[in-house]
Structure 1
Amino acid sequence: MDGQITSSITLYPDQILVVNPLLIMITIPMFQIVIYPFLDKIHLKTTLLQRMAIGGMIAALAFLICGLVQLRVNVLFLIHL
């Protein structure tokens, strides 16, 4: 991976450490201002425990998808050897 995002933007490995806190600072207000009020409006009010469980399921799904992508990369790598 060369880190090239666009022709003028390159993301270097040491800059990856900044991405997680940046995404957290963006998504927490987005959930508090947009998503949770919308869910309340359509009568899908959730408790904190339900939100944590949903987050855990989404994290598990993300790990599963990463594993499947890695398996595909391994197969393609072996084909091109």
Structure 2
Amino acid sequence: DGIRAADWSRVSVPLKAEIFNHWMTSGEIPEPLRQCRTVFVPKSDAPQNPGEYRPISIASVPLRHMHSVLARRLLDCCPPDTRQRGF
């Protein structure tokens, strides 16, 4: 999408809220923002086959920001069980 974190940080909070609210009420997020980039991180020093890589998908900056806002709100009303591990 070409939106860098430095550029997104200069967008005002009210405008970000308006954008996020529009996405939530319309149920539509622009296609370029829904595209993720996948990078393969080696699990070992000298990976020999595809199974020795860990795929990591990186979403756009605005979408990651919206996800973090939603995650914080969900944690406020639905705290994870103390027995939960991982995510």
The alignment's TM-score, normalised by the length of structure 2, stands at 0.28
Larger radius of gyration: 1
Q: If each structure's strand is expressed as a fraction of its own residues, which one has the higher value?
A: 2
Q: If each structure's helix is expressed as a fraction of its own residues, which one has the higher value?
A: 1
The alignment's TM-score, normalised by the length of structure 1, stands at 0.30
Larger relative CO (CA 8 A, sep 6+): 1 or 2?
2
